[in-house]
Amino acid sequence: MSMLVFGRTGQVATELAQIAPDAVFLGRDVADLMDPAACAAAIHAHAPRAVINAAAYTAVDKAEADEAAAMRVNSEAPAAIAQACAALGIPLVHISTDYVFDGSGAEPRKPADPVAPINAYGRSKLAGERAIVQAGGTYAILRTSWVVSAHGANFVRTMLRLSETRNALNVVDDQIGGPTCAADIAAACLAIADQLISDPEKSGVYHFSGAPDVSWKDFATAIFAAAGRTVAVTSIPTSDYPTPAQRPLNSRLNCSATEATFGIARPDWRAGLHDILAELKEVSG
């Protein structure tokens, strides 16, 4: 039996394809998360040894005006997926987000800390988490933050694109979190899935983010330094960069339970950034 992955072109799914080529990847053409019943049917059809849900509605700002779609993809579909997994007795690894928290304070959030999402995307992801728990199967909900890679839309690629035409940028400095490389998330998901197969008692909610925690401004500065780009980065508060969806100021995640339970430590995003830049350079020739 193979691993079944929901998602095919997203950042984590793309990385999973690199390290788990024998897995079965389901894109929207086969299992659209807007159709939860189709997702459940796919699990029953493939009867995999484990399922990783690497697909989601991730358009944070768009979700403010289309919360129903976000809920269908991020809550109703994971509910159907989790119920199918529970029925077949197979583990589910589901990727969630720091946005389930309100972003207050300065302490890294633990998995059991109170949740209080401040935007539609966060509400949809929290609803999905609760549905997975209620399904009663074997699961790991892996909350992560600030996902980056050489693929798709993310902060690293945006900064590099902007640096091609601008030598100065204003970047938010009061949002703090851990940039997390999609390759590290993919490896963690596989390791967790394998351990859940042999030890379902490890089911639960976990955190996984890159270290050290930084602001977006400091992350941008590191990107430009690593890429050899000369860009002056000026700090601005979140209030100077309004967006439809409110962002949490504190995205720090306490990942100690993940290391204690699965032996997976927080990855150093600086090493991951080096790999991302090398991949982008190779692709560009």
Among candidate residues 255, 146, 181, 134, the one with its CA nearest the CA of residue 126:
134
The tokens 């890679």 sit on which residue? Answer: 149
CA distance 246 to 243: 7
Phi and psi angles of residue 196, each rounded to the nearest 5 degrees, phi first: -65, -30
Three-state SS for 148-176 is ECCCCCCHHHHHHHHHCCCCEEEEECCCE
* Collapsed DSSP state (helix, strand, coil) of residue 56: coil
CA distance 165 to 185: 31
Neighbours of 273 (CB within 10 A): 21
Q: Which of 121, 139, 206, 241 is catalytic?
A: 121
CB 185 within 8 A of CB 39: no
241 is catalytic: no
Instruction: Name the residues annotated as catalytic.
Output: 121
